[in-house]
Amino acid sequence: VLNEKKLQEVDSLWKEFETPEKANKIVKLKHFEKFQDTAEALAAFTALMEGKINKQLKKVLKKIVKEAHEPLAVADAKLGGVIKEKLNLSCIHSPVVNELMRGIRSQMDGLIPGVEPREMAAMCLGLAHSLSRYRLKFSADKVDTMIVQAISLLDDLDKELNNYIMRCREWYGWHFPELGKIISDNLTYCKCLQKVGDRKNYASAKLSELLPEEVEAEVKAAAEISMGTEVSEEDICNILHLCTQVIEISEYRTQLYEYLQNRMMAIAPNVTVMVGELVGARLIAHAGSLLNLAKHAASTVQILGAEKALFRALKSRRDTPKYGLIYHASLVGQTSPKHKGKISRMLAAKTVLAIRYDAFGEDSSSAMGVENRAKLEARLRTLEDRGIRKISGTGKALAKTEKYEHKSEVKTYDPSGDSTLPTCSKKRKIEQVDKEDEITEKKAKKAKIKVKVEEEEEEKVAEEEETSVKKKKKKGKKKHIKEEPLSEEEPCTSTAIASPEKKKKKKKKRDNED
C-alpha cells in the first residue's frame, strides 16, 4: 500500500479503484505466482476455505517474512491466525481490508502485468465451476441421470426383444414348426437360424457349438419329417436379418446391464447391496434423482411404484398396499407370504438409511449396507423359525418338531352328485325284469277283483234299501184299513226307517277307506 491515509476513508475507498491509473497510485505489486492448472488452484482454494496453508502459499510467505516490516492484510480471520502461529507474521483483518481486496479484484488486469483478460475470465469460470462441485460434494462419477436413462433403456430393450423374438418364432414356424418346441432358449434359437437357414441344411449342419448332442440329433430328425411349408430364399433372408437384429440387441442388453451395475456400485453402493442394482435403479428413476429419493420417508419408499393401488384403496376405504417396487428385492422375494409385509417395511427403513448415506455421505464404501442386510437376514430367520418352534411344558426346552414335507393331495371330480335320479350299481338281468313285471300284473288283477266285489256289495245294499221302502208303503195302507192304534205300529216303523240310515253310513265309511 503506497498511501495509507486513503485507507482511513472506508466509504470512499472504491473511488480510488475506478481506473487502473488511480489503483496504481494506491497499491503496488510486490510478488505474483501463477497456478499451473485449475486443479492446483482448486486445491489451494479449498485449503484456504478450511483455514489451512497450502505448500505453495507457505513458500511465498516465507520469502515475504524476510523482507516484510509491516503487517499482512488477510481477507479471512482464521487464515490470519494460522499464518501468525506457523510463520510468526502479524496479520490484519478489518472492513478496510475487505474494501481493499474488492478494489484489487476489480482492477486485476491493470495491476498484474502479463495476464490477458480472456485467460483470466476462463480461469475464473473454471475455478468457479470446480469450487461449486466441491461445495456440493459433486463428482463426475456420481451422475444419477445416467442411471435413470440406462434403466429406462433396459426396460425398452426387453420389450423390443420380446416382440422381435415372438415375430421370429412365428415367422420361421411356418417353415419348421418343430424347432420352436425343441429349442426353448430364444438366443440359441436365433443363432441356429442364422447358422443354418433353410430346413434342408440341418442334415449337413454342425450345431455342436450351440446345442448338446441329444438336442442336435432331435433337431436333425425333426427336420427330415417336418410338416412345415416350403419357403423361398428371399423369405429366409428376411428372417435371418431379423435374427441378426435380435442377437445384436441381446448382446447390447448384456453390455448395458454391466454398465448399470458398475454405475450403481459407484453412485449408490449401499442401496445396491440392500435391494439390488435393478430395484435401486428403478427407485432412483421413479423419484427423479438420488437426492429426491433421499428426501422421501421410509413409508413412501415402501409403496413407491404402487400409487394407483394406494389411491384406489384410499378412495374405496380398503387396505392400502404393503409394497411397490421394493417387492422385487431378493429379501422380500425369499420370504413367505405371511411375512412379506413386515420384511418390506423393515427393508424400506434400512434402504432409506442407505440412500441418505450414499447421497450425502463422503465415504463410498458399502460396509453400512452389508451390515444392515445381515441384520435383516437375521431378523428374517427369526420370523421364519418362530412359526416352527414351539415352547414345551416347562417353558425352557424347545419341543422337537418334525421336518415339514409337502404332500399334495390330488382330488378327482365325483360325477355321482350331478344327477338326482337313483342309479343302479349293476345292470338288471332280463329274468329279474320279467319277474317284476309278473308281480306288478298280479297286483293289478287283485286290485281289479277287490273293486268288483265292492261294486257287487254296493248293488246288494241298494236293492235291500228299495225292498224296505216298498214294505213300508204296504204297511201304511194296512193301517188305514184296519184302524189299529198307533202305539203298536210305531216301533216297527222306527226300526224299518233306522236300518237304511245305518247302511248309508257304512257305505260312506267304505268309500272313504277305498
CA distances from 189 to 166, 178, 244, 363 (A): 11, 12, 11, 46
Q: Which of 238-252, 350-364, 426-440 has the highest mean pLDDT?
A: 238-252
The burial class, CB within 10 Å (0-12 / 13-18 / 19+), for 11 is exposed
Asked if residues 137 and 360 have their Cβ atoms less than 8 Å apart, the reply is yes
Identify whether the C-beta of residue 45 lies closer than 8 Å to the C-beta of residue 22: no
Q: Which amino acid is at 245?
A: Q
The pLDDT value recorded for residue 125 is 83
CATH topology of domain 145-255: Helix Hairpins (1.10.287)
Binned at pLDDT 50, 70 and 90, residue 383 comes out as confident
* Residue 392 pLDDT grade (very low, low, confident, very high; cuts 50, 70, 90): very low
For residue range 264-311, list pLDDT tens digits in order: 998 999 999 999 999 999 999 999 889 899 999 999 999 999 989 999
Chain mean pLDDT for the chain: 79
User: How much is the average pLDDT of 323-340?
Assistant: 90
Which of 103-107, 231-235, 252-256, 468-472 ranks highest by mean pLDDT? 252-256
Give me the CATH topology for the region 268-385. Answer: Serum Albumin; Chain A, Domain 1 (1.10.246)
pLDDT of residue 72: 78
d(CA 346, CA 266): 25
Highest mean pLDDT among 42-51, 83-92, 197-206: 197-206
| pLDDT value for 444 | 75
Query: Is it the case that residue 232 has pLDDT exceeding 70?
Result: yes
Ordered by start, the domain boundaries in the chain are 13-138, 145-255, 268-385
pLDDT for res 384: 84
What's the whole-number mean pLDDT along residues 97-104? 78
Grid coordinates of 39: 486443479
Query: Of 3.30.70, 1.10.730, 1.10.340, 3.30.420, which CATH number belongs to 13-138?
Result: 3.30.420
